[in-house]
Copies of this chain bind each other. A is one copy, B any other.
Amino acid sequence: MKIQTECVPCLLKRIIFEAKQSTDDKTLQTKAIRNACKMLSQIYDPNECSAVIATKIHKMVYDTLGDEDPYAELKQTSNRVAESLLPKIEEIIKASDDSLKASMLCSIIGNILDFGIEGSSTNPKMLREVFERIYSERLGYDDYSKLKLHLKKAKRVIIFADNCGEIVFDKVVCRELKKFNPRIFISLVVRGEPIISDATLKDARELNFKEVVDEILTTGCFAIGVDFDRLPFEVEKALKNADLITCKGMANYEAFSETDYKPIVYLLRTKCSAISKSMDIPLNVSVIKLYE
């Protein structure tokens, strides 16, 4: 996705949020805000991918703050809150007609755990409060039937994870996927370095993902979504060999929508107008959208 005008204030909102997460030192917060504005004045370009610009801005702000992971605590809490919801989710899946679809919807709802932007959560606990209401709304865009056909015949699937919290439910999706088609080889890709509230190798290990996937890879670097210029060889190979690419969340959409990788399915919440317009899907709905 090309950066939209509305991405500029939204990105700054997130920068302010992470500066405040990182420090109470107002001088340092001010420095981070000023540096972000300065860099935006230099690199904002409507022809550039939003994820590329966001990566550069966040990198500079992390450096300014001298903080490798301003979201560390929030990420931990997100995982714990999501784990506390697991019994409810297992119940939902058990009671559903299609356990794979139900698990996917749950993990899409987990995608609301996102901080510092409009339409996102103010704290991880809100997931508990809104989960049932959002589940009852079901999917606002539903390519599941087509997706199922792909998954039935797929030998290799690569899944790009997104936020912490959400990743707890992604594990359930992987388990259900293995039940649905035991022959599928699943590659999970998490972020190579801590960036915003996204899951990293640390989370994948803590959550014992090796129980449900065949390999765990990382994007190899600090990047919003995926930086295709710095893609590790293993990920490149897994992408090439995959019969289906599965992307969780908006950042992966922002990055992959600028490439020709197909077939690709996006599982996300449309949390902002830029993504909503780009995907031509209403705002604040749960989405399974397949590009074949």
Contact = CB atoms under 8 A, between A and B. Distances in A.
A254 to B, nearest CB: 19
Given A37-B37, A41-B35, A9 B16 contact: yes
Interface stretch (A25-33, A89-97, A163-171, A208-216): A25-33
A41 B44 contact: no
Copies of this subunit = 2
Contacts of A40: 34, 37
Contacts of A46: 26, 30
A8 B34 CA distance: 10
**Interface size class, chain A:** 20 to 34
A279 to B, nearest CB: 21
Contacts of A38: 37-38, 41
Interface in A4-48: 5-6, 8-10, 12-13, 16, 19-20, 26, 29-30, 33-38, 40-42, 44-46
Contacts of A30: 44-46
A20 B37 CA distance: 20
B8 A16 contact: yes
A9 B10 CA distance: 7
Contact of A37 (B6, B13, B29, B44): B44
Nearest to A16: B5
A41 B34 contact: yes
A29 B5 contact: yes
A30 B29 CA distance: 26
Contacts of A5: 16, 19-20, 29, 33
A42 B38 CA distance: 8
Given A5-B33, A8-B37, A26-B46, 13 more contacts: A5-B16, A5-B19, A5-B20, A8-B16, A9-B9, A9-B12, A9-B13, A9-B16, A30-B44, A30-B45, A34-B44, A36-B41, A38-B38
